Structure 1
């Protein structure tokens, strides 16, 4: 388990990263990548959408282009304070401070669940995905963006020491274990040589 796959350390990490997050983020996960991922989801204007690990609201901003019913959840108050300045605490978006592994919502609450740049910090990714399946409506989609596993042994060792990096095979295992079906993956990259993201879309089974 990587050093940042610990909730307390991750919160401390984001306390400081939040100051420069919006400046650094575009070099790894930019508007074009976000918008390309959003096109994979058939979000309707009346859909209720949950953004897990919403951070400063970068993905939230994209989701608002599709629906006004966006809910953002994050464990870092420092990241969320940046989002509050953009959207208000309960104006454009309803925000919740919470844990991906224990979502504070009723079963079948959302039409879509989105999560980008968050799974790599979850100590128990499958537990969080089980929660996703619980709160998303049957037959509806979730989309998760995480860091693609490096291809070289040296970089793999570095990646494993920091946080969760995974490939399509491992993503299949996690999503299948959580009970999802129709799992597909897309590799995204900001520019040649930059870190790659693995974007997974999966469907909760019909009842």
Structure 2
């Protein structure tokens, strides 16, 4: 099943509506004004867009490769069409000027990319100087079924190298592991906040 089919046939009926708690924690620690330009890269059906809007941000952009996901975002959160962009990462960032965004959220996306370093360079290009990136990387211990083929799992050293090569500096980093003993599912990921 591809992502567009998944969002149209599964998530449209039962969308994820609760933002990730680590996303809320990291955003709440930033000193961002309500008029900050913020981007949710790989936004899916918008659960973290919900967090951005409820935290008071007025200029929120959502990007995803699935038009069905963006239709869910538009219907649930009423973002203007010009703030929703459909396309593959990192190409979808091309229309934005250098140093455009005050903060970028990239949650649950990196492990699907064949060339994460290219995406991180593109993110760094559109981030303003001093602006923040909140991002997650699936850890090597992660054992979840996915919709699409997972390309990469990471350890902390690999993440640090990728972030450094993109010209970003890690501000804080942590790891979350949640094991479900009934079905042997393990969700394990690193979260981090970096700045340009």
TM-score range, shorter chain: 0.7 to 0.9
The alignment partner of 1:100 has SS state of: coil
Asked if structure 2 preserves the Cα contact closer than 8 Å seen for 1:37 and 1:199, the reply is no
Off by >3 Å, runs of 4+ in structure 1: 21-26, 191-194
* 1:164 aligns to 2:156 (yes or no): no
TM-score normalised to structure 1 length: 0.77
Give 1:16 shift: 2.8
Asked if structure 2 preserves the Cα contact closer than 8 Å seen for 1:175 and 1:183, the reply is no
State how far apart, in whole Å, the 2-side matches of 1:39 and 1:166 are: 26
State how far apart, in whole Å, the 2-side matches of 1:16 and 1:96 are: 18
Counterpart residue number, 2:190 = 198
State how far apart, in whole Å, the 2-side matches of 1:148 and 1:44 are: 32
RMSD: 2.7
Which structure would you say has the larger RCO, counting Cα contacts within 8 Å and 6 or more residues apart? 1
* 1:176 aligns to 2:164 (yes or no): yes
TM-score normalised to structure 2 length: 0.80
Unmatched 5+ residue regions in structure 2? 144-148, 181-185
- Number of residue equivalences: 183
State how far apart, in whole Å, the 1-side matches of 2:170 and 2:110 are: 19
* 1:100 aligns to 2:89 (yes or no): yes
Unmatched 5+ residue regions in structure 1? 1-11, 156-160
Q: C-alpha deviations, 1:12-32, integer Å up to 9, x for none?
A: 621232133474858xx8543
